[in-house]
Amino acid sequence: MVQPPCKRIRLENRKEEAEEETPNGSHQLTDAEKDGNATDENLRPAPVCTVCLGILQELCEMDFVKAVCQKINSAEYQFSSFVFSVSFPPQLSVREHAAWLLVKEEIGKQDLLVEKDDLVQLKEAYKWIIHPLFLEELGVPADGKSLFEVSVVFAHHETDEDCHFLATACRSCFKPAKNKQSVFTRMAVVKALELIDDDDFLKNFRSPPSSPKTPCTAVEIQCTNGAIFVAGRYNKYSRTLPQTPWIIDGERKMESSVEELISEHLMTTFKADSFNFSSSGREDVDVRTLGNGRPFAIELVNPRRVHLTAEEMKALQQTINNSSDKVQVHDLQIVTREAIGHMKEGEEGKTKSYSALIWTEKEIRNEDVAVLDSMKELKLDQKTPLRVLHRRPLAVRVRVIHTMQSEYIDEHHFRLRLKTQAGTYIKEFVHGDFGRTKPNIGSLLGTTADILELDVESVDTDWPPALDN
């Protein structure tokens, strides 16, 4: 497009025409001239700032804020405040440094002293401008402690061109890294600027900086909510259900797991991206968890919903319980990240109660097994069981059987209820694991013994707090 001639040319072409002057001698523009001048100004793009690369121009105006807020609202996040983070192109630090050197020189000419820390950084200035606009558009305040984060990544295609001289001057600061598109990261550039002296800098980079060819652009707008944590207790009533997905050599062995039966409903309700499951110990696939259940916690990553009422939590708990007869949960509640630590605190000092159905090779009488009832605080030396040696280091662990209570069934069977130190391998205590657990039921009774069924009857911890549900 050919731009129309500017006002100066038009006026020169009309010098010989009769001109109507105002009382002070200035030329009175016609309506056509006014319109033509406005057209010229609109067509001529505003120059891009040599320091901020346009970030404090169009990228902090309400139109940009509206575009960001549209993305926030479309994601349907639940939040009452927000923290705004920005990632600027690394060369902004270079251009800020160049501007600072110019300011320092000019101030010095006036025999004044100014420190670099006295200047407002571009990022801070940007947030000062942008925060009130977000408040106006979103209706919630900016809060540095908010769990809801809005992050914007700005980029500029001249980054390498502006920064390349630093790679020569400060080679040690720039090392190729995996998964990085450029060696010129913000941290590397800042470190290099701290090392390079002013004269070397000014030999390689103009002060004030040269005009950029194009402004910055926002290449990514992302919203994330801080994780929330849901805790409770679960009972497992199946002997064919693992606690977590059971996959061996890429092949799934069971169709579901405790973790999945609980978490799938939490994921749906809280609209989270992913989850992390943890519990106070774990039971084998063929072991039931009865009694007061096993404490568990699930971290929900980037949830869209973060608040549920007590009634909504009860309804969620009921949904989980109605979905399967293999697992039931109770005391379901939202907890803090710090509270999760209570579940793991003093793990080995906790006690757990079990019920084991035991078979003996030798015929037994009631008085044979009754001898176990009198044994208190029985110490075991347990070498890492063969069945878990592939995932746990080889070690000998001392564990304690606090109490035992036997129930005679017939010549080859009896039930044993045990209260033990957490972390005790009960199956190995029964059959001995080829002598790797000493003593064991077989050695105590003078016969070969094996375990037929095992149930966890209680995990003795007061976390999470019991609820009235």
- Residues noted as catalytic: 284
Dig out the tokens for 22 from the structure.
């105002």
| Residue 330 structure tokens | 């109770």
Q: In what helix (H) or strand (E) does residue 200 lie, and over which residues does it extend?
A: helix 198-204
Q: Which residue has the tokens 């801080």?
A: 226
- Between CA 372 and CA 365 the distance in angstroms is 13
Distance in angstroms (rounded) separating the CA atoms of residues 23 and 419: 107
Give dist(CA 6, CA 41) in Å, integer.
10
Q: State how far the alpha carbon of 241 is from the alpha carbons of 165, 238, 253, 288, 421, in Å.
A: 61, 6, 10, 9, 25
